[in-house]
Amino acid sequence: MAKQNKGRKFFAASATAALVASAIVPVASAAQVNDYNKISGYAKEAVQALVDQGVIQGDTNGNFNPLNTVTRAQAAEIFTKALELEANGDVNFKDVKAGAWYYNSIAAVVANGIFEGVSATEFAPNKSLTRSEAAKILVEAFGLEGEADLSQFADASQVKPWAKKYLEIAVANGVFEGTDANKLNPNNSITRQDFALVFKRTVDKVEGETPEEAAFVKAINNTTVEVTFEEEVTNVQALNFKIEGLEIKNASVKQTNKKVVVLTTEAQTADKEYVLTLDGETIGGFKGVAAVVPTKVELVSSAVQGKLGQEVKVQAKVTVAEGQSKAGIPVTFTVPGNNNDGVVPTLTGEALTNEEGIATYSYTRYKEGTDEVTAYATGDRSKFSLGYVFWGVDTILSIEEVTTGATINNGANKTYKVTYKNPKTGKPEANKTFNVGFVENMNVTSDKVANATVNGVKALQLSNNTALDAAQVTTDSKGEATFTVSGTNAEVTPVVYAVNTTVGENAKAYKTSALQVTASKVKFAAVQADYTLELTRTGGEVAATGQDNGREYKVVVKDKDGKLAKNEVVNVAFNEDLDRVISTVTDAKFIDADNEVYYTGTKAKQITVKTDEKGEATFVIGSDKVNDYATPVAWIDINTSNAKEATLDEGEPKAVAPISYFQKAYLDGASIKSYNTVGKKETKFEDGAVATFKAQLVNQSDKVISATIKSVSYTVWNTGSNDIDVAGKVVSPNRSITLSYPGELSSSDLQVKAIDGKPSSVRVIATGIAINPTDSKDYAFTAKEATATFTSSSEVANNHVGRIGSVNTTDKTLTFDGKKPISYKDAKFVAENNAPLADADAFIAELKKYANSAEVHYSKDADGVVTFKIVRAATTGGAVTVDAFNSTLTTAAVTVAGSATTPAVATVDSALITAAYGNTITVNGVTFTYHADARPSDANLFTGLADLVYKINLNSTVKVKASATGTTLNLSEDKDGTFNYAVNGGTQLTSTVGVLGQDQQVTFTFSDALNIATGDKVTVNGLQGTVASVSNAKKTVVVKFSALGLTGTTVTSFAVTNGASGTDNKGNTVTVGTVNLTR
């Protein structure tokens, strides 16, 4: 709460005069700055006022530069001009030179005590003024006073101690306000536009403390007088109003007009002349008004709940005769109690009505119970209304929406949750039964009953007592109960109320005295009534005849907010048949596009389509009749529950498509189409499937005309986020490649696939030459572009809902059934009851509470923030596994057969190379010489056969390995092919032909993801191998075994054996049984 200024001082009489004469009096705008439009809207008026008064002006280019900061010298200039200050004496600051443009201004503000130097010898004229410094100068210069709590601002902690009191005063007087982010920015330099604004506010504040003479005084009613001033009033509490012979009880500024002061008086004498004075001076008069006697008083709410120790508000509304004011009418409230009990005494109070005729009375209780409150017109007890206040430690009965939304589709459900807490303990209480009905259906005639139900019950209470019913709900152990409301073309307000316990009356009867709570009004209507349809034709106006041709159309449905509407059923027919616009009929029919045949029966002339996730749906029309034409019309049925009725009614959302004409097929260019492996046209390919793009000649319906492609060049752009394979070449994201036939391509088709099954997308264009089938001549073409997307069925899409099967806390991933692991790092987590969870540990703990884990909604917003929200308990699958990976081996196949290595070999009789000094042997170009005195360090000299074997094996250049058998030197190398050697410089000899063996590779597939990675060791049937690759879903593992690898026809065991002593240290449990090893 801010305490505003109640006084001020002027630092000079001349300043006061200038203040009033120059800074306050509005004048016509005669001046302007070039960059006025760059000034923020909130500051334009203040800047223009100071420009008009000549206080501020543009630079040499005529620009104000609103976002530049204000220097101390510039601030001094503004003060001097605005207040017409004059210098008295010289300036003694060494950084303020005589002749400088700001010399006189600084002299003036210093002389008048507005500014001080930053030190005894320096003024710092070019230093930017901070917002705190600006507050200090304004407060001191104009003598502002007041108090305010700065804790309301987000950056209050950044206010420096010396500046705190100045900012408090500036805020209290409305000079400084917070930014949109609720900040003061106390240490930021103040901009030129902001300084102009706070300066103008300060001047207006000081001038506005004593309003000019009131222009108009009027008695509004028996206790209210309005005083209208020429200027806004900002300090009403400081103004001394008096009315002779009439007590003024309160004075306030009217909320809707700050130039009006509202005076609340004691009751006036009708037609008596009253005189109003301000600060002892007469400012107007008025004639007293007779008191208005209301014709009716009724409580706004007949049942109110209150929390002990807190105020509860009871409101009563008055009705008055036509033409009379509803404001200022006294209403008395009485609350019976026990005057001998200080806790619940009898209470009586009076409140005046506001302009809407509502009087508000507040009171507090400190003991649970129920009060009967009476509100009546003061002085006329016959105009009264009864109500009840139910007191408890906490809110006793509350209601909240489970299904959100104020408008619900006809026939759909909206669910609510009720909570009951014991009034005395404040704790939830079980087994409390309540009735549920609708406010609109209480005490009405049968023709006024809204068409709505609660839990299937048509809740109503007719005024003639011929029908009464309500749904009943009972609280559970958490004190909660739910109910579901449904309706058609109805607006209802659900009300939950206590069971009627009056003997002899229906327990479901509604009484205003019952403990009750109401929900917000809900409307049941055809939501689709506000939908819009967009209907477009794919391709040109002329289509080819025949059911294998035709013309495709696309319909897009949007809701009332312009958002795409998925799963909407759209009816489609021909405008010509419905006689909506064109009076003729058409022979056109709808085509089953998947099978390229006409629909039969009623579907030939009218079909329904359902929109997809993008709010889109397509259909195809065709005709066998040359020169026929057709105009599709689409609409959404809002008058039936199944949305598929045949009639197009007025007022239903509809769209009429562009017309199509039908002619015999003719060559109309070329296009690129993508096909799957079975030759069917497709644009979406899953899990590494190959897309085959074909450049083809087409007719006017974009249907393929059989023709030979002589040459074609394809350009492929990778528009996705992962690498793709284009005819065996890798293309990275945001890159393109051009391939031609003849040339790099072996045929006129182009094959594209995702690498490792990772999601991506492509855009393809083609140019080439084909043989025109009609005249056998060359036909040069540029094909219409094609696009294709590559997805992975195991990828987790945005807005995915599925069961969480396992969690890996080491990798910080969790796995939905049938999907790849997905990271939960930095994600947000929400429980099933919509309560936020603190972190991943809390989320995992929540999952463990469910016997079969839980179905979870995964979403990622536009900023990349990931949220996991528990939707419901899963019904099958078992408990979630945490850092434990249970899986079953399903298949095992040898994908690369293993084989043993046959080395290349040669043998040499050692006698040939040790018979005499200087004998040699050369192996793979490296020569070794016999010398009986060779030392161990002589790498290429040997003393005998054993030394030669040692030094050949030691030499890194020689890949051949040596060994000795008796007096024979054995040479061997594992390689494909031969190696060369020579003895004593003789003819080069060749070894036998070697053949390298092949490590076996076996691909294993599993039912569920394993905790496994490339390089891990596994043991299968007792044989150890190394993991060569793992699929993204971690369900397919390729293992490499040396040489022949696994033998036999079955796999009987599989284990990850990374840990000590060949154990699994990654939490895997693999069930094998007996699985065939296919080859």
How confident is the model at residue 489, as a pLDDT? 85
Tell me the mean pLDDT in the region 358-364. 95
Tell me the mean pLDDT in the region 1018-1045. 89
Statement: 528-663 belongs to CATH 2.60.130.10? no
Q: Are strands 551-558 and 616-622 parallel, antiparallel or unpaired?
A: antiparallel
How confident is the model at residue 842, as a pLDDT? 93
Q: How many CB atoms lie within 10 A of CB 116?
A: 12
> Sheet harboring 660-663: ordered strands across?
542-544, 660-663, 629-630
Cite the residue boundaries of each domain of the chain with CATH code 2.60.40.1220. Answer: 216-287
- Which of 212 and 353 is assigned the larger pLDDT? 353
- Residues with Cβ within 8 Å of 730's Cβ and at least 6 positions away in sequence, in order, are 723, 724, 755
Give the burial string for 402-428 (b: 16+ CB within 10 Å, else e).
Answer: eeeeeebbbeeebebbbbbbbbeebeb
- Which of 914 and 694 is assigned the larger pLDDT? 694
Give, for 17, the enclosing helix (H) or strand (E).
Answer: helix 13-18
- Which of 775 and 797 is assigned the larger pLDDT? 775
Which architecture does CATH list for 296-392? Sandwich (2.60)
How confident is the model at residue 642, as a pLDDT? 56
Q: What backbone torsions phi and psi does residue 1059 show, to the nearest 5 degrees?
A: -75, 180
Which residue shows structure tokens 């901070």?
A: 130
CB distance 333 to 314 below 8 Å: yes
What is the CATH code for 667-791? 2.60.40
**Token pair belonging to 459:** 């809740």
Cα(843)–Cα(866) distance, rounded to whole angstroms? 14
How confident is the model at residue 953, as a pLDDT? 93
pLDDT-derived band of residue 1066, with 50, 70 and 90 as boundaries?
Answer: confident
Identify the weakest region by mean pLDDT among 59-73, 318-332, 979-993, 1061-1075.
1061-1075
Q: Which of 751, 845, 711, 861 is nearest to 798 (CA)?
A: 861
Burial of 239 from C-beta contacts in 10 A (0-12 / 13-18 / 19+): middle
Identify the weakest region by mean pLDDT among 30-34, 458-462, 557-561, 1073-1077.
30-34
How confident is the model at residue 10, as a pLDDT? 33
**Token pair belonging to 328:** 């200022």
pLDDT-derived band of residue 1010, with 50, 70 and 90 as boundaries?
Answer: confident
> Bridge-partner residues for 471, per DSSP?
436
Query: What class, spelled out in words, does domain 998-1078 have in CATH?
Result: mainly beta
97 has pLDDT over 60: yes
Q: CA dihedral defined by 863, 866, 869, 875, rounded to 10 degrees?
A: 130
Cα(331)–Cα(375) distance, rounded to whole angstroms? 7
**Token pair belonging to 606:** 């009218």
Cα–Cα separations (whole angstroms), residue 149 to 135, 181, 411, 1006: 15, 17, 53, 66
pLDDT-derived band of residue 694, with 50, 70 and 90 as boundaries?
Answer: very high
Tell me the mean pLDDT in the region 267-292. 87
Tell me the mean pLDDT in the region 560-586. 82
9 has pLDDT over 60: no
Cα(443)–Cα(222) distance, rounded to whole angstroms? 37
Cite the residue boundaries of each domain of the chain with CATH code 2.60.40.10. Answer: 296-392, 528-663
Statement: 216-287 belongs to CATH 3.40.190.10? no
Decide: helix, strand or coil at residue 170. helix
SS3 sequence, 917-967? CCCEEEECCEEEEECCCCCCCCCCEECCHHHHHHHHHHCCCCCCEEEEECC
502 has pLDDT over 60: yes
Cite the residue boundaries of each domain of the chain with CATH code 2.40.30. Answer: 998-1078
> Bridge-partner residues for 656, per DSSP?
633
**Token pair belonging to 873:** 């308990």
- Residues with Cβ within 8 Å of 645's Cβ and at least 6 positions away in sequence, in order, are 571, 637, 639
pLDDT-derived band of residue 644, with 50, 70 and 90 as boundaries?
Answer: low
> Bridge-partner residues for 1001, per DSSP?
896, 1040
Letter for the amino acid at 786?
A
SS3 sequence, 960-997? CEEEEECCEEEEEECCCECCEEEECCCCCEECCCEECC
287 has pLDDT over 90: no
19 has pLDDT over 60: no
Taking only the tens place, the pLDDT of each residue in 200-255 is 888 887 765 544 444 578 888 888 888 988 888 888 877 889 999 999 998 888 87
The number of CA neighbours under 13 Å toward the Cβ of 97 is 3
Q: Are strands 760-771 and 778-791 parallel, antiparallel or unpaired?
A: antiparallel
Q: How many CB atoms lie within 10 A of CB 709?
A: 21
pLDDT-derived band of residue 639, with 50, 70 and 90 as boundaries?
Answer: low
SS3 sequence, 1030-1042? ECCCCCEEEEEEC
How confident is the model at residue 424, as a pLDDT? 94
The number of CA neighbours under 13 Å toward the Cβ of 133 is 19
Cα(238)–Cα(957) distance, rounded to whole angstroms? 104
- pLDDT above 70 coverage of the chain, percent: 95
pLDDT-derived band of residue 456, with 50, 70 and 90 as boundaries?
Answer: very high
Is-cis flag, bond preceding 742, omega within 30? yes
How confident is the model at residue 909, as a pLDDT? 93
Cα(934)–Cα(912) distance, rounded to whole angstroms? 18
21 has pLDDT over 50: no
Cα(12)–Cα(17) distance, rounded to whole angstroms? 9
Taking only the tens place, the pLDDT of each residue in 373-401 is 999 998 889 999 999 999 999 999 999 99
Tell me the mean pLDDT in the region 1006-1030. 89
Cα(745)–Cα(692) distance, rounded to whole angstroms? 13
Cα(748)–Cα(991) distance, rounded to whole angstroms? 48
Cα(697)–Cα(781) distance, rounded to whole angstroms? 8
8 has pLDDT over 80: no
pLDDT-derived band of residue 25, with 50, 70 and 90 as boundaries?
Answer: very low
Alpha helices for 119-246 (secondary structure H) = 131-142, 164-172, 192-207
How confident is the model at residue 208, as a pLDDT? 58
- Residues with Cβ within 8 Å of 1065's Cβ and at least 6 positions away in sequence, in order, are 1058, 1059
> Between helices 192-207 and 131-142, what is the axis angle to 10°?
20
Tell me the mean pLDDT in the region 755-777. 92
> Bridge-partner residues for 994, per DSSP?
977
**Token pair belonging to 266:** 């004691």
pLDDT-derived band of residue 20, with 50, 70 and 90 as boundaries?
Answer: very low
| Mean pLDDT taken over the chain | 88
Identify the weakest region by mean pLDDT among 496-505, 632-641, 819-828, 963-972.
632-641
CB distance 816 to 711 below 8 Å: no
**Token pair belonging to 504:** 């002899």
pLDDT-derived band of residue 645, with 50, 70 and 90 as boundaries?
Answer: low
